[in-house]
Amino acid sequence: MIDVKPVRNVELSLWQKTYYPELLKGLWVTSQHFFRNLGRHVGRALGMKTEPPMVTILYPEVRRPISPRWRGLHRLMRRPDGAPRCVACMMCETACPDKCIYITAGESPDGRVEKFPLAFEIDLLRCCFCGLCVEACPEDAIRMDTGYLELAGYSREEFYLDREFLLRRGEPTTHPQYPGELDGATVHRVDLVKLAKGH
């Protein structure tokens, strides 16, 4: 038998029904933060040692620097000749706790390598960004250092990343924040949509 606990509605007083108490409380909290932060900025400007003041970052035009250890969208690395570094060993697929990596191995045309990924797919909506796939890879073929933050979309298909998409993210660019590395800032959701639709 299910135990049901009746919940009584709290009766608001006339003063509370005007919502002024909560409004004033909110303004009080906001003002506290504002004047405390203003004091820190003024203190710093006068050369005093204060707590670091909070700043407003004009995102997306201005971006906070990201730690090199930050894990974002995956990418697949290429060899100098442009071929995927991945040798389809399945280590990442096996290590993935969310089972969101799907690899189909094929025989490599390069005689020095036994296998390569015919298909390499990641279901990003299942991924918990633990980084175990990166840790498990013996070839440094998969990385999560794209610095790409804008993981948003309108459909599930947009988050199903295929081999070509992941390899394109591994191409070097000249982005000032990531010199010689992937330009995470220019990866746009439209790319994801186009790739999902096969354009």
The window from 36-44, 56-64, 129-137, 149-157 that contacts ligand SF4 (CB under 6 A) reads 129-137
**Interface with ligand SF4, residue 102, by CB under 6 A:** no
List C-alpha distances in Å: 17 to 7, 13, 21, 26: 20, 6, 9, 16
Q: Does 161 bind ligand SF4 (CB under 6 A)?
A: no
Distance CA(142)–CA(151), nearest Å, equals: 18
Location of structure tokens 């509370």: 16
Which 33-92 positions form the footprint of ligand SF4 (CB under 6 A)? 86-92
Task: Select 88 or 196, whichever has its Cβ closest to ligand SF4.
Answer: 88
CB-based contact 10:17 (threshold 8 Å):
no
Q: Which is nearer to ligand SF4, 53 or 131 (CB)?
A: 131
- Cβ atoms of residues 69 and 54 within 8 Å: no
Reading the block at residue 187, the tokens are: 């990866």
Residue whose token pair is 């135990």: 3
122 binds ligand SF4 (CB under 6 A): yes
- Contacting residue, 39, 43, 66, 98, with ligand SF4 by CB under 6 A: 98
**Residue 38 — left, alpha, or beta (φ > 0 → left; ψ -120 to 50 → alpha)?**
alpha
Q: Which of 72, 73, 75, 96 binds ligand SF4 (CB under 6 A)?
A: 96
Q: How far is the CB of 99 from ligand SF4 (least distance, A)?
A: 8
Name which position in 73, 133, 185, 196 contacts ligand SF4 (CB under 6 A): 133
Structure tokens at 10: 């709290």
Chain residues in the site for ligand SF4 (CB under 6 A): 86-92, 95-98, 100-101, 103, 122, 127-133, 136-137, 139, 141-142
